[in-house]
Structure formats: structure tokens, C-alpha cells
Amino acid sequence: MRRALRLAAPILLMAAVVITLVLSPGVQAPERDVRTDRASRVRIGAEHGGRPTLAILPFATEGSATDLGGVAALLGDVLQADLAYEDVFDLTPASARGAVAAPTADGVLTGLVRVQEGTLRLELRIRDASGGQLAFAREYAGRVEIARLVAHVAADEILGDQGAVCGVAHSRLAFVSDRLGAFHEPTGALRRVKEIFVSDYDGAREERATADGDLDLTPAWSPDGRLLAYTSYRLGFQDIFVTDLAARRAWPAIVGHARNWLPAWSPDGKQIAFTSSRDGNEAIYVMNADRTDLRRLTTGWAIDTSPAWSPDGRRIAFTSNRTGSPQIWVMDADGANPQQLTKEKYCDRPSWSPGPVDEIAYVSQTGTGFDIKVIETAARRVRQLTFGPVNESPAFSPNGRHIAFTSTRSGSQQIWTMTRMGTDLRQVTRAGNNSMPAWSR
């Protein structure tokens, strides 16, 4: 056999998994109702352990709903783009007649789309191209207006099941934008209003997350993707607020009058680290998410800012100028054992990879401007990912395979993504100026 099949049992017993998608306004992740599961597993694969080729046939339709063909085409296009983003399969589009374009495909993906009374149902099947054995069979249901989300969730299921990769297709990006074109005059001088917006990982389904009418900056997702902490000037000074995306409700995250900014949620969602000048100089503090047990982590005269948690919650990366210029440091989560990681001209805004590789992305001042670099925390090896003019605010994807960042490479300030090795650059935003991305888990 030209391709290898990895079987969990000699005989495949496959039942469709029905996943119902329910989307509330602003909620990042759909609820899933798994009705049935399968008894065993087949995974398509190439002959010598290489990357398998997956042929995607045009989705069939059933019924007479309005624009059923358009819905099917949208589902197919989004699903294929999501799979291509993770670069796990060699994707082979199929001809309009349904014939596989490449006879060397290892697997064939087919879909059936039905719409009845506003409810969309998508049935997906993947079969081994040579033997016809069923490798994947699931059904997804949701409202027609969230067809893109249906495709995103299906893509992540396929990537996990057949590619052993946790996809990011139904993750979301939060970012700062001045696209409203408004100005605010708090102290006699006009400044541009910036609000927090959210979108799909690919920039689709953009929506406004805050409505403070002032300067909102540095969004940070809670681990469950339902809350955003951010820096706001709505009270006339820097302070941290939390907004519930579903309820459209925001509240101050910290008790007391002080300048606080750059929030960062702990991986378990129980704590928030942040920068504050409440005791004089800028230092790193931490508190419980319920606003109790406020503690200062860094001491001394230096400016310490931009906290970022390690995936296990045991360490915090931060920026400090305690050796002269701003550099990336790491300390234990209780503030003990600070260690300097970088020794460059200027470094800031660390972002810790969620794994499996233990590394930190950060901004570095280079000969061409500001660029994104990554440092391996153990070996201290550094690789530069961008090369001018201005690239800032890196944020790892929830699977650690991609980095979102701010760049002026298109002329204006926009959100881009790239792989963790600096390849496959993609522009995400285009309206107004956009910056400071944060990627939901």
C-alpha cells in the first residue's frame, strides 16, 4: 500500500459526532453537545511518515433553502483556509465535477450541507483514498449566520483528529483600534479615541468589545476566553478594567486610586499580574482575580513592567531597566530569583509561548527599527523573526505555532500573524490603525 494507515482497532466502528454550536454575542467559544462518539480510530497518512495529502471535494447540498450553494461554498472555503493555516496537510482542491484533482491523495474529504428553518447542518467525512475506510465522521449544527464559526470548529476537529495538532481556527484576537475616527478632549488637548475590538484569528467577524470613548489599550484574555482585562484612561488616568464580552459589562479590576496598566492573567485565571506606580516607581504587582490579596513582586528603584506568565504559572517574564536599558527578565511567580535573559540595546513586551517549546517572543530595537525576536529560555539562543521597519507587541497563538504582532510594513499600523519561525506572514486588520494584539486560548 502506497500510504500508511494507523489503526486503533482492526475493524473501524464509526458513528457521527453531532456538535451543536450556540453563539451568544461576544462569546469566543461555542458550546458543544457531543451526542455520540466513535469506538475506534483511523488516521490517514503518507507512505513514509511524511505529510499526508488531503483532497477536498466540493460540498454537496440537500434541500431548497435560499442560497444553499453559497453557504456550502463559504463553508468549504473557510474550512480549507483553516486547514492550510496550520500547514499539516498537502491540500488538493477538487474539480467542480467532484473528481479528485490529484490521484495521489491519501485521504478524501466530503461534505453535505443542509439548511432548514435557519439551522445549518454540516456532515463531514474523510476516507482513506485507496481502501475507502472511514477515518473521520462528524456532524455540526448551528445558525446559518455563524456558518464561518461552524467551519472553524470543524477544521479544528479535523486537525486534532487527523493531524495531531490543536488548531486555532475558532480562537479569537483582541486588539486596539482607532477605526472609529473619534477624538476625546480630557485635558484640553485632543487625543484619538482607541477602543478594544475582537475578531476571528483571520480577521473576519470584527466587533467592538469596549465603548469607553477614550483611550483603551493592552487587552488580555482570561483563560476561558470570556473576559478581557485592559488598560483604560476612562477615569482620567491609567487603570485596569475587565469586560465581560457576553454581558457587555465592564468594571474596575483593582480597588483603590492608582495608576495601573498592562494586565496579564495567570494560566489558571485566578490571578492578574500588572504594572503599577502606586508606591513610587513602576513595579510588577499581582492580585487575585476577585481583587483581593494585592502584592508587590519587584522591588528597588528600577522600572519593571510588561508581565507575562509562563504556561505553568510558576514564572513571570517582565521588562526591567535595572541594568541600565530595558531588557527581558524572568522571575518566580512570587517575585523571587530574578534572572536577566536579554542583553541588547532595548527589549520590551515579552510573550511566553504556551509550549511545547519553552521560549519567549519580545520586541528588540535593531538597526532597521524595532523587530520581533524569540529567545529560548534555557539555552538563551535568539532568533530574529522580522526585519523592519516597525514590528511590536508579539502574542503567541494558543497552540504556540503562530505569533500575532503589530507592524507598519503595509504603511499604516496593522495586526499581522506569522509562524513561530517568522514565515507565512498574513495581514489580519485593515480598517484604521490597529495594534497590541492578544490571542485567546
Residue 215 counted as domain residue: yes
Task: Please report, in tens digits, the pLDDT of each residue of the chain (441 residues total).
Answer: 333 333 232 222 233 445 655 443 343 333 333 333 443 468 888 877 789 999 999 999 998 888 999 999 999 999 999 999 999 999 987 544 444 445 689 999 999 999 988 899 999 999 998 888 999 999 999 999 999 999 999 999 999 999 999 999 999 999 999 999 888 776 666 788 999 999 999 999 999 999 999 999 999 999 999 999 999 999 889 999 999 999 999 999 998 778 999 999 999 999 999 999 999 899 999 999 999 999 999 999 999 999 999 999 999 999 999 999 999 999 999 999 999 999 999 999 999 999 889 999 999 999 989 999 999 999 999 999 999 889 999 999 999 999 999 999 999 999 999 999 999 999 999 999 999 999 997
Confidence (pLDDT) at 18? 57
Among candidate residues 168, 161, 171, the one with its CA nearest the CA of residue 37: 161
Confidence (pLDDT) at 16? 40
Confidence (pLDDT) at 47? 73
User: Domain boundary at 115, 145, 163, which?
Assistant: 163
Confidence (pLDDT) at 258? 87
Confidence (pLDDT) at 101? 46
Q: How many folded domains does the chain comprise? A: 2
State how far the Cα of 88 lies from the Cα of 50, in Å rounded to an integer: 10
The residues that bridge with 136 in the sheet, in sequence order, are 126
Residue appearing with cell numbers 527578565: 329
Residue 1 counted as domain residue: no
Residue 290 counted as domain residue: yes
- Specify the DSSP element, H or E, that contains 93: strand 90-93
User: What is the domain extent for residue 18?
Assistant: 6-163
Same domain, 235 and 314: yes
Same domain, 201 and 349: yes
Distances (CA, A) of 27 to 58, 137, 221, 251, 289: 30, 27, 12, 18, 20
Residue appearing with cell numbers 530574529: 384
CB 178 within 8 A of CB 412: no
Q: What is the CA radius of gyration of the chain?
A: 24
Residue 296 counted as domain residue: yes
**pTM, to two decimals:** 0.90
Same domain, 116 and 229: no
Cell of 155: 477544521
CB atoms within 10 A of CB 323: 11
Residue 15 counted as domain residue: yes
CB 415 within 8 A of CB 434: yes
Which amino acid does the sequence have at 121? R
Same domain, 68 and 202: no
Cell of 257: 486610586
Confidence (pLDDT) at 183? 86
Q: How far apart are the first and last CA of the chain?
A: 39
